[in-house]
A = this chain, B = another copy of it.
Amino acid sequence: MNPDLAWEVWSRERSERIENVLDGALAVASGTPRLLLDAMRYAALGGGKRVRALLAYAGGELTGADPDDVDGPAAAVELMHAYSLVHDDLPCMDDDALRRGKPSCHVAFGEAMALLAGDALQTLAFEVVVRTPAGEPAAQITLLAKASGASGMAGGQAIDLATVGDMLALNELEHMHALKTGALIRAAVRLGAGCGRPMRADENDALDRYSSAIGLGFQIVDDVLDVEGTALSLGKTAGKDAVQRKTTYASLLGLSAARERIEALRADAHAALGGMPTARRLIELADWISSRTH
């Protein structure tokens, strides 16, 4: 891969690449019920920003990993994210009928099949993360599991659920988001980086600082877009935080201060990795995450 490729070219190439990897991971197999597979493919393919996969590939570039080796981790974090969206949209959770610009999985396939599709997407995430030969399988599984389970993504969802209608303080909101979205974003970067050369302790620390900054920045942008965006631009229901009386950075800080915070986090992500010459794609991702409009 030419390191001089423009961001637009690189990100498009990797987005197409992950789509192919996911398509292969979700290929029709004998004995697997077709309707379940269709629901899984519906939820995981043909949409999404693929931020987590791009972060895994960019993490891999930091440590000189072969992109072929990063395919497994990149697919794993996307599958994990896709499963969380399917379950999050269910009537007993956010009850959302629109996702990635089309009907939610349960609207298209029914609640029970969507539940199973989400379940099986999570399973598949663990299956594919160890498919690639690079990296240490037990460490990769532990990283992915801790980021996704009760102390990570699912835990963040549980806090979100338990506090709807409550006014959260800023530190409570940050804890929730560190679990709900931050943990899997950090795992994406680290899983990718884990496919290349071993990192020094100071590099590990820098990568954690970067991941925290972009994870939080990503969420604040989400909150701002929920206020400012439309269903057409977002591909999902807009304005639902207010309807669901959720505390957000937008409601807590106001839009102007929220935007300032996004910029400060972007600067922090730059500062964390500024000294590392192979961090170019991670830096570009931080810029893109901060300025995205959908």
Question: Closest chain B residue to A35 by CB distance?
Answer: B162
Known: A33-B159, A120-B149, A127-B149. 4 other contacts (CB 8 A): A31-B151, A31-B179, A90-B115, A116-B161
| Chain B residue contacts of A142, Cβ below 8 A | 127, 130
Q: Which residues between 130 and 177 of chain A lie within 8 Å of chain B, taking CB atoms?
A: 130, 137-138, 141-142, 144-146, 148-151, 154-155, 157-159, 161-162, 175
Q: Whole-angstrom distance between the alpha carbons of A266 and B113 in the complex?
A: 34
Q: Are A37 and B150 in contact (CB under 8 A)?
A: yes
Q: Which of A93, A113, A150, A158 has the most CB of B within 10 A?
A: A150
Q: Are A36 and B150 in contact (CB under 8 A)?
A: yes
Q: Are B87 and A32 in contact (CB under 8 A)?
A: no
Q: Which residues between 1 and 55 of chain A lie within 8 Å of chain B, taking CB atoms?
A: 29, 31-33, 35-37, 40
Contacts A112-B161, A150-B37, A161-B113 given; indicate if A31 touches B87 (C-beta within 8 A). no
Q: Are B150 and A126 in contact (CB under 8 A)?
A: no
Chain B nearest CB from A134 CB (Å) reads 12
Question: Closest chain B residue to A157 by CB distance?
Answer: B116
- How many chain A residues touch the partner (CB < 8 A)? 49
Chain B nearest CB from A10 CB (Å) reads 29
| Chain B residue contacts of A37, Cβ below 8 A | 150
| Chain B residue contacts of A35, Cβ below 8 A | 158, 162
| Chain B residue contacts of A149, Cβ below 8 A | 120, 123-124, 127
| Chain B residue contacts of A154, Cβ below 8 A | 36, 116, 119-120, 123
Chain B nearest CB from A6 CB (Å) reads 36
Q: A122 near B: Cβ within 8 Å? A: yes
Q: A92 near B: Cβ within 8 Å? A: yes
Q: Are A32 and B137 in contact (CB under 8 A)?
A: no
Q: Are A32 and B151 in contact (CB under 8 A)?
A: yes
Q: Which of A92, A116, A130 has the most CB of B within 10 A?
A: A116
